[in-house]
Structure 1
Amino acid sequence: MLKRSVAAVALLSLGACVTSGDKEVTKANVLDTYANIAQAKFEDSLTTAQDLQAAIDALVAKPSEETLDAARDAWVAARVPYQQSEVYRFGNAAVDDWEGKVNAWPLDEGLIDYVDAGYGVDSDENALYTANVIASTSLKLGGETVDTSVITKQLLSETLHEIDGVEANVATGYHAIEFLLWGQDLNGTDAGAGDRPYTDFDLANCTGANCDRRVQYLTVSADLLIDDLKDAVAMWSEGGQARIALTSDGEDAGLTKIFTGMGSLSYGELAGERIKLGLMLNDPEEEHDCFSDNTHWSHYYDAKGIQNVYNGSYTRVNGDVISGPSVSDLVKATSADVDAAVQQKLDATMGAMTVMADKAESGMAYDQMLGEGNANGNRIIQDVVDSLVDQTKTFEAAMGTLGLTLPEFEGSDSLDNPSAVFE
């Protein structure tokens, strides 16, 4: 861990007049920028989820290829601001407690709807592996009967979500909606995403059976997503739980939360669990948006969210920019060299992410890149992992420069103990 110079200590302790825009660079103002950006990101997530709901309503009202495609496009658009908010999950307990409602992953989709025979019929780890709530008016679990005759918010969020203590029993959130809109991706590491027909939502010409209940599940899921995102907006608004908690233990503790979010998402969660693990296993089931083949953009915007936070700047979906005194400003005031190193690594990560996204958009989807024997695709993904790991190391140096105690960033066996992955 780096030590602060005498000049750096004097700068922070005496409050030397450094400004960013029209605001003085102080710890308090940096924390305020961080919270303001969080509020903006969740407001944008809510707005785009409402657009998604409107597109789902249009699909339900008039099922067609066009309305299904529009709903899928709205889902992809909704992921852009939400993924940029994930950097707020680690370090902020209120966000971490809430996050599982909207972005739990991976999921055993057989809990929700029909699946291909190749999915199997049972699992030693999940008694409800193929429960198919959409086709069932009741479920048996541990000798008890769960009434699923009416699909309600309470049923999905309070009864079914992670039922029986199984995290893969994901009944709500973006990925449940993703599965309903796309269906299973049965292509493995070959080209192609899920291809659910629009007639699965057509009550007059129903395919897949139980179209009325599938429509009900989809619309209720969209309602729930909006409810949950409203809670997140309130959490970061003035007087909100997360905004208050950010400074409740002092400014240095608040800054540590910021670095915990950046470091944990960068290292253990994104580089490790979401990327390296799937690469080691060559397993498309480990890709984050596995039904839609949108994983490259999910990873890209996760990384963008980290860069947003460090630089104290976020471009909203309407083009407005929320910015102010940043962590970068604090670090630069104590060590321009350390700040430059962080910026270089952040730029390198976004460069690697851009290569990955461009490759996916030009015809090699992320699940194809994961494939065994795809040396080029594997290399592209590994470059992303390496960049994320490298940038995490610079966060540690930046914390040292600011005199902050280094937290324990989220880890992953795929990075810290690779042999354990195959045990």
Structure 2
Amino acid sequence: MDALNRTTLRNITAFSAAALAGMALVVGCGEDEAEFDRGAVIEGMGTGVIMPTVDALYAASQALDTAAQAFCDAPDATTLEAARDAWLAVKAPLKRSESFSFGPARVPRVQMSMNVDKWPGRGENIEAALDTEATIDEAYITGLDYRDRVFGYPAAGYLLFGAPEGAADTLAAYTDAEHLPEKRCEYLLAVTDHAAGIVAEYHNRWSPEGDGYLTQFVEAGSSDAFPSEQDAFTSITGTMLFALVQISEMKLGVPLMGNEGAPKPEDVEAPYSNTSVDHALWAFEGVERLYLGTDEAMGLSDYVQFRQAAGNVDQTVRDRIAAARSALEALDEPLAETVVNDADAVQAAIDAVDQLNQVISGEVSTLLGINPTTVEGDND
């Protein structure tokens, strides 16, 4: 990321000449638009994909807080493994939520990337921060500079999978006095508790039982946040594209060539757990689910199929989704080694994700008559 610190992500809404030519596919659909329930698609994405993801993130964040406490109460191989599993269970829905990073996700107080997901965690900075006489609690954590990548779930990833210099392994760092085990646990618990609190507020902002942003979304066309259904489609398409850019440019592109065109393996997303490919796949799944829908809920694909008349835009998207997933799944862990030893495979995954981006920002957006808003990267 450092190589792109002052670089705004490219405009994800540029239309190619070929995409503009796709306007021909729209002809003839206008008269029948009223026959298609666009609200059902919006509701399907909201209640079938977005809210279940937010619910899963909330539940997992609470479970990690509990697992971290259990580990610190009795640090052994079993409790460490349980805490690690709980951390991974948080990261999956957190990454999937990148595909709908509008609304609550743009509120500074609960912005995920700034408050709980500034990655990658920097072990050397975390070690310096925990070597203190001060009590390490939420106040201490929030007094640190988030740009140093010293709190949130990436920091918890280092504390649960990494180890300081001289420690035999992660567990030894919590059992050997020379590695400040008490301060290390203070830090871990402060990090997970702070993050769980932010996630709880984020969940409340989405929840119909809380601030009710989900209701604003699914009632697009008659809500303050979305005066028209088209506004909802514009927001969701824009953030789907944002998630794809994050995958290709940040999760893969920077580690592959962020060092002036050479690999920068230290900037993979999850260097200590060796799950950076999984992180990319989870983020991809967010886009995939919003487009394809679920067994119970409609997705953007349903609207594209209606609008395309005799075209094949939907099948093109589906083919590119399959190709991108295949290319991502072909990447070996640890990604930090793959960007050095198999650059072609990483580039192939980048290209496949970009090709999916192109068809959504081009043919799909043109077909639906929307111009997704440009989104700047949060992890820059």
TM-score by length of 1: 0.74
Aligned partner of residue 370 in structure 1, secondary structure: helix
- Give unmatched runs, 5+ long, in structure 1: 19-25, 114-131, 138-148, 187-193, 314-320, 415-423
Q: Deviations over 1:149-175 (max 9, x none)?
A: 122212212x1142xxxx2x2232110
Q: Which residue of 2 aligns with 1:276?
A: 253
Q: Which residue of 1 aligns with 2:351?
A: 386
Q: Give the distance between the partners of 1:171 and 1:406, measured in 2 at CA.
A: 33
1:271–1:382: structure 2 CA closer, same or farther, 3 Å change rule?
Answer: same
1:5–1:185: structure 2 CA closer, same or farther, 3 Å change rule?
Answer: farther
Aligned partner of residue 112 in structure 1, secondary structure: helix
Q: Deviations over 1:76-114 (max 9, x none)?
A: 23222221111112xx1530341121111134433321x
| Equivalent of 2:135 in 150, 157, 160 | 150
Compare the two structures and name the one with the higher strand fraction: 1
Q: Give the distance between the partners of 1:81 and 1:107, measured in 2 at CA.
A: 19
Cα RMSD of the aligned pairs, angstroms, is 2.4
| Equivalent of 1:33 in 44, 51, 56 | 44
Give the drift of 1:300.
Answer: 0.8
Q: Which residue of 2 aligns with 1:262?
A: 240
| Equivalent of 2:330 in 345, 351, 355 | 355
Aligned partner of residue 7 in structure 1, secondary structure: coil
Spell out structure 1 runs of 4+ moving beyond 4 A.
409-412
- Give unmatched runs, 5+ long, in structure 2: 1-19
Which structure would you say has the larger RCO, counting Cα contacts within 8 Å and 6 or more residues apart?
2
Q: Give the distance between the partners of 1:83 and 1:291, measured in 2 at CA.
A: 17
Q: Deviations over 1:162-195 (max 9, x none)?
A: 2xxxx2x223211010111122599xxxxxxx97
Q: Deviations over 1:350-397 (max 9, x none)?
A: 1112212xx33xxxx2111011xx2xx212211110111000111021
Q: Which residue of 2 aligns with 1:191?
A: none
Amino acid of the residue matched to residue 177 of structure 1? A
Q: Give the distance between the partners of 2:375 and 2:31, measured in 1 at CA.
A: 29
| Equivalent of 2:271 in 262, 285, 290 | 290
Structure 1 residue 160 and structure 2 residue 121: aligned?
no
| Equivalent of 2:149 in 138, 145, 170 | 170
Q: 1:338-377 to 2 correspondence within 5 Å?
A: 338-356=313-331, 359-360=332-333, 365-371=334-340, 374=341, 377=342
| Equivalent of 2:125 in 108, 111, 130 | 111
1:409–1:347: structure 2 CA closer, same or farther, 3 Å change rule?
Answer: farther
Conserved? CA contact 1:75–1:178, under 8 Å: yes
Identity fraction in percent:
19
Aligned partner of residue 399 in structure 1, secondary structure: helix
Q: 1:208-227 to 2 correspondence within 5 Å?
A: 208=179, 210-227=180-197
Amino acid of the residue matched to residue 330 of structure 2? V
Q: Which residue of 2 aligns with 1:183?
A: 162
Conserved? CA contact 1:178–1:292, under 8 Å: yes
Conserved? CA contact 1:355–1:380, under 8 Å: yes
Conserved? CA contact 1:45–1:81, under 8 Å: yes
Conserved? CA contact 1:262–1:306, under 8 Å: yes
| Equivalent of 2:307 in 334, 339, 349 | 334
Amino acid of the residue matched to residue 272 of structure 1? E
Q: Which residue of 2 aligns with 1:45?
A: 57
Conserved? CA contact 1:94–1:241, under 8 Å: no
Q: How many residues align?
A: 337
| Equivalent of 1:253 in 231, 240, 265 | 231
Conserved? CA contact 1:334–1:402, under 8 Å: yes
Give the drift of 1:48.
Answer: 2.0
Amino acid of the residue matched to residue 393 of structure 1? Q
Structure 1 residue 230 and structure 2 residue 214: aligned?
no
Q: Deviations over 1:250-297 (max 9, x none)?
A: 211110111111111112x11012211211131211100011111010
Q: Give the distance between the partners of 2:77 and 2:345, measured in 1 at CA.
A: 33
Q: Give the distance between the partners of 1:307 and 1:393, measured in 2 at CA.
A: 15
Q: Give the distance between the partners of 2:374 and 2:75, measured in 1 at CA.
A: 49
1:30–1:296: structure 2 CA closer, same or farther, 3 Å change rule?
Answer: same
Q: Which residue of 1 aligns with 2:3?
A: none
TM-score by length of 2: 0.82
Conserved? CA contact 2:98–2:283, under 8 Å: yes
Q: Which residue of 1 aligns with 2:7?
A: none
Compare the two structures and name the one with the higher helix fraction: 2
